[in-house]
Amino acid sequence: MLLVFLMLSVASASQECYWNSECPYSLYSSKTPYDTVRGDLRDYQIPNNCEAVSVWTLNRHGNRNPGKSVTVSVKEIADLKDEIINSYNAGNSQLCAQDIEEFKKWTWNETLEISQSFLTGTGYEELYDIGKRIREKYPHLVEGSSNDFYFRPTNEQRTITSAVAFVHGLTDGTSLNVSIDEVQERDDVIRPYENCDRYQEKVKGGTSLEEHLDAYYKTTEFVAVQNAVQRRLGIPSRLSPDDIYSFYEICRFYRSWTQNLKSPWCAVFSDEDLAVLEYRDDVRHYHRNGYGSWVNVNLGHLPMKNLYESFEAVVEGRGKKITSYFSHDTMMEMVWCALGIYKDDFELQGGRRELNRLWRTSYIGAFSVNLIAVLNKCTVSGTQSYRVQLFVNEKATELCPLEGCTWQQFQQKFQPFASANLEFCSLDYRVPETNAAPGGWNSFSWALLLQTVLLLIWKFIY
């Protein structure tokens, strides 16, 4: 009986080791690999009696290297490798033997220090595969002249190379020869926040975000994570809150570059620790890019204006077969706000983790996240019409039913964006009361309400 108990105890202990975890935690906020959260466009049916005539996409760049400040901080954490191993050898560590073996094999990638924020090979594959799936879903669109296509990135290496990868996947194996538009010094379609004084000063440079992050680091949950990591490693160096987050950074970056999506640096955390750390980015992005400010909501209108005008041009006999833009998580999250999706009934606060939240950057701000809109031309009994399908990360959304919005429904949803501009970005702009409260209704919401009221009045009269 004792032997059985000991065998069960050993088995239980081995199951707690990171290296042989059958289902390791997979959500790492804005550094989550695309394949973790995506659907597959090819699995969805084209509406009956319809054929796709135009595709419009907005894409975040793919997996990238950490930026300058993160590279510096994670390199300092990487220097603790020997201390972690020595702690295990001295009997002070709670890590498993095989996890320590993985630490011994691990080496610092020196190219990170000369290619900060650059797209990685993994990121190239993410965008290549998206382009390939669009080609396989709509092969008839990937033909014609170069004038039928338009591609534009922001002025960063990671978005430019993402555009190259996407076009490579889209045209691979075809005779199509297309080019990518030159980046614009000022791009108010896919990076309007860079040219918005109100955003730069009041939102990105405001005090609210830092207050929420300070509150997060003081929560009982985060302090528990900090103490657990210190105890688990058993190292003499005292770990600060910033050190804990740097451990998280080196964990999630390095794991995303391996085929099995594992890194020894992730062994320092439990799954619950990772869930607590995931929330930090959710709060940060909520207030910097999301519903935390009406400014973010309004900035998301600009790309949606381009989407509406692009499809309108196709319906009028002009326009492109495929139009694709390549931007950043900042822009993607502002677009989600403009569309009114992933919106909670409460404000995300740093001092309290909301477990059942819609705003989760692991799903809405991961690498290569995208909005794909498909304009379908339909013929029923000799009558032509149009239907629009909208996909987020290659999954169906609440924005339109799977059979697509009718053209009239699409107009009702998106025509309000046609008047979008950046007048509100001036610090002298008088803020309307409807925009004053963070997370409040935006002009898009009010326009939809007005349209609904007018429709009800019309039905009552007639």
pLDDT tens profile 421-438: 999 999 998 887 656 444
pLDDT for residue 404? 96
273 tagged catalytic: no
> What pLDDT score was predicted for residue 462?
39
> Does this model's pTM top 0.95?
no
- Residue type at 402? L
Average pLDDT (221-243) is 98
Long-range contacts of 98-106 (CB under 8 A, 24+ apart): 98/17, 98/19, 98/20, 99/17, 99/18, 99/19, 99/264, 99/267, 102/19, 102/264, 102/267, 103/264, 103/267, 105/264, 106/81, 106/254, 106/263, 106/264, 106/265
In the block, residue with structure tokens 């614009």: 184
Close Cβ partners of 360 (under 8 Å, ≥ 6 residues apart)? 27, 278, 282, 342
Catalytic position from the list 40, 61, 187, 345:
61
Better-predicted residue by pLDDT, 362 or 208: 362
Is 150 strand, coil or helix? strand
Q: Mean pLDDT for the chain?
A: 92
In this prediction, residue 16 has a pLDDT band, given cuts at 50, 70 and 90, of: confident
Residue whose pair of structure tokens reads 């009558």 in the numeric block: 383
pLDDT value at residue 120? 98
Structural fold of domain 29-458 = Rossmann fold (3.40.50)
**Average of per-residue pLDDT across 42-64:** 97
pLDDT at site 11: 38
Q: Is position 140 annotated as part of the catalytic site?
A: no
Domain coordinates in residue numbering, the chain: 29-458
Q: What is the mean pLDDT of residues 206-212?
A: 93
Above 90 in pLDDT, residue 228? yes
Q: Mean pLDDT across the stretch 382-387?
A: 95
Position 452 scores a pLDDT of 40
Question: Which strand (E) or helix (H) includes residue 373?
Answer: strand 370-380
Q: What is the DSSP string of 36-56?
A: HH---GGGSPPPTTEEEEEEE
pLDDT value, residue 22? 86
Q: Write the pLDDT tens digit of every residue in 31-42.
A: 999 999 999 999
**142 and 135 in contact (C-beta within 8 Å)?**
yes
- Nearest Cα neighbor of 174 from 144, 129, 133 is 144
Catalytic residue among 129, 243, 273, 329: 329
> In 289-341, which residue ranges form alpha helices assigned H by DSSP?
294-299, 301-315, 329-339
For residue 133 the two structure tokens come to 């799936």
**Span 345-358, pLDDT tens digits:** 999 999 999 999 99
pLDDT band at 451 (very low <50, low <70, confident <90, very high): very low
pLDDT tens digits for 127-172?
999 999 999 999 999 998 999 999 999 999 999 999 999 999 999 9
Where are the extended beta strands (E) located within 223-336? Answer: 322-327
The pLDDT assigned to 435 comes to: 61
Segment 288-328, tens digit of pLDDT: 999 999 999 999 999 999 999 999 999 999 999 999 999 99
Overall average pLDDT of the 176-181 stretch: 95
Per-residue pLDDT, 433: 64
Reference 142, options 163, 173, 182; nearest CA is: 173
Q: Tell me: the pLDDT tens digits for 400-414?
A: 999 999 999 999 999
* pLDDT at position 50: 97
